[in-house]
């Protein structure tokens, strides 16, 4: 039975099935659905949990051994098998089908880290679809994100005008994890309340002062002083350096791509092709206009040094060097036409 994530709680409330397959590229949906299965198992007296990972060295006999060994603590167990590639191979597919054919009191939870639509046609997935539940966790499309946020707000006891969901969707640009975190934060700030656009704007602006994505926006748009204050805030709040570098590096690489392609294509078309949301386009345009392709190439080339610093793989201070780089980018004068 194929069920989308929002329908899984209804099925779990009716009772457990022998196997659950949760797969898709949206990590938040995968992990939340997996947690729901685990919680349902605990509620139905299944306390023992066996965890396996089917990597390249995995012996598929381990799955049979894990389920054949009698449990000393409970009549049923949750056997959790993670498939990093989403593909068990010929042997794995045969073992999974055999497990289903034999029948078991245990519950098998399969979690796939990678997934493609055509995998639904494989024999082992069809067997799971017939015997249990398959939950595809696809990315939420931009046009559906406001609705997803609206449902998330309701699930946290909040009500909001539609403009609130549209505003959050635009700001968070399809990042489902960030959207979930923002909703949870609003639920803590305004429990059980009806949210207004003005109030949410104020709350989001306050939380964004030291946000890594906010830093990238400040740097690209040329606000050197505010960018340096933002870096200090990130440092004081113990934000992981790799997260800061990822947010900044992503925008700089997009700016370089825009600079290169913008010489022969309309910039609006480049933004559309790169799926850059409108809220991000102005800072990127400003950065490209100030620096140009050659300077951006040099700056992006320096990110590898910061990457090593962020991971403790080089001598020096990550925070000092990223301050210097951000001040250089934000403070660069507009280049001559």
Residue appearing with tokens 């938040």: 28
Same domain, 163 and 177: yes
Same domain, 37 and 158: no
Tell me the pLDDT tens digit for each residue of 110-143: 999 888 888 999 999 999 999 999 999 998 888 8
Is residue 337 situated within a structural domain?
A: no
Domain enclosing residue 84, as ranges: 5-136
Question: Of 136, 157, 189, which residue sits at a domain end?
Answer: 136
Tell me the pLDDT tens digit for each residue of 208-253: 555 788 899 899 999 999 899 889 888 887 888 988 898 899 999 9
Straight-line distance from the first to the last Cα atom of the chain, in angstroms, rounded to the nearest whole number? 61
**Can you give the pTM of this predicted structure?**
0.61
Same domain, 178 and 234: no
Tell me the pLDDT tens digit for each residue of 250-271: 999 999 999 999 988 898 889 8
Picking from 313, 242, 250, 254, the residue whose alpha carbon sits closest to that of residue 288 is 254
Strands 133-136 and 19-23: parallel
Same domain, 154 and 242: no
Q: Count up the domains in the chain and report the number.
A: 3
Question: Of 86, 101, 136, which residue sits at a domain end?
Answer: 136
Assess contact for 255 and 220: CB atoms under 8 A.
yes
Is residue 336 situated within a structural domain?
A: no
Please tell me the distance from the alpha carbon of residue 259 to that of residue 290, in angstroms, as a whole number. 11
């Amino acid at each position: 039975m194929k069920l989308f994530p929002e329908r899984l709680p209804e099925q779990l409330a009716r009772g457990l099935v022998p196997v659950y397959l949760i797969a898709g590229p949206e990590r938040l949906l995968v992990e939340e659905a997996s947690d729901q299965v685990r919680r349902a198992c605990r509620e139905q007296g299944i306390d023992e949990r066996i965890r396996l990972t089917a990597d390249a060295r995995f012996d598929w006999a381990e799955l049979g051994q894990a389920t054949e060994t009698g449990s000393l603590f409970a009549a049923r167990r949750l056997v959790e098998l993670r498939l990093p590639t989403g593909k068990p191979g010929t042997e794995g597919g045969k073992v999974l089908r055999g497990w289903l054919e034999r029948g078991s009191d245990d519950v098998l939870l399969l979690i796939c880290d990678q997934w493609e639509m055509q995998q639904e046609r494989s024999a082992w997935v069809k067997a799971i679809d017939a015997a249990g539940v398959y939950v595809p966790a696809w990315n939420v499309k931009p046009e559906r994100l406001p609705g997803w946020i609206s449902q998330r707000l309701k699930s946290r006891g909040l009500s909001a005008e539609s403009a609130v969901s549209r505003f959050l969707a635009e700001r968070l640009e399809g990042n489902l994890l960030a959207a979930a975190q923002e909703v949870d934060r609003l639920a803590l700030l305004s429990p059980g309340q009806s949210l207004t656009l003005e109030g949410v704007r104020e709350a989001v602006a306050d939380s964004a002062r030291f946000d890594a994505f906010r830093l990238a926006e400040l740097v690209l748009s040329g606000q050197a002083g505010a960018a340096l204050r933002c870096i200090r805030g990130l440092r004081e709040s113990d934000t992981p350096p790799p997260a800061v570098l990822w947010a900044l590096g992503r925008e700089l690489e997009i700016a370089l791509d825009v600079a290169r392609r913008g010489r022969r294509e309309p910039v609006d078309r480049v933004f559309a092709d790169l799926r850059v949301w409108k809220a991000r386009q102005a800072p990127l345009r400003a950065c490209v206009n100030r620096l140009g392709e050659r300077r951006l190439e040099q700056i992006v080339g320096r990110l590898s040094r910061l990457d090593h610093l962020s991971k403790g793989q080089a001598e020096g201070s990550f925070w000092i060097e990223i301050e210097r780089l951000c001040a250089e980018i934000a403070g660069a004068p507009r280049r001559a036409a």
